[in-house]
Structure 1
Amino acid sequence: MKLSVLSRLAILLLVAGSVAGCANTIRGVGRDAANAVDATQSAGRDISQSTY
């Protein structure tokens, strides 16, 4: 079963789009994790500087 050139090109574009979407999602998760770490550190500093 042979695929036409147009079919191969369409498959290639779909795969490339999927990979690009995954890369953006992974990058976004990394940013979210970094923001969570920053917020946790900031909260820790606030607690250590507060007086009871």
Structure 2
Amino acid sequence: MKYLSLGQILAVLLLAGAGVGLAGCNTVEGVGEDVSAAGDKLDEAAEERGAR
């Protein structure tokens, strides 16, 4: 039985995550909206913590 290396496991997880993420967006516009929403959440979290 051949075991996978840590690098191979990480590569598979990265590709699977990218596939799920892209499938959820459907369009380039959707990707932009998702990235914008993530940025907004980071801004809100920073403001709550008092970061500048």
Q: What range describes the TM-score normalised by the shorter chain of this pair? A: 0.3 to 0.5
Greater Rg over alpha carbons, structure: 1
TM-score (norm 2): 0.47
Which structure's relative contact order is higher, taking Cα pairs within 8 Å and 6+ residues apart?
2
Relative to total residues, which structure has the larger helix share, 1 or 2? 1
Q: TM-score, normalised by structure 1?
A: 0.47
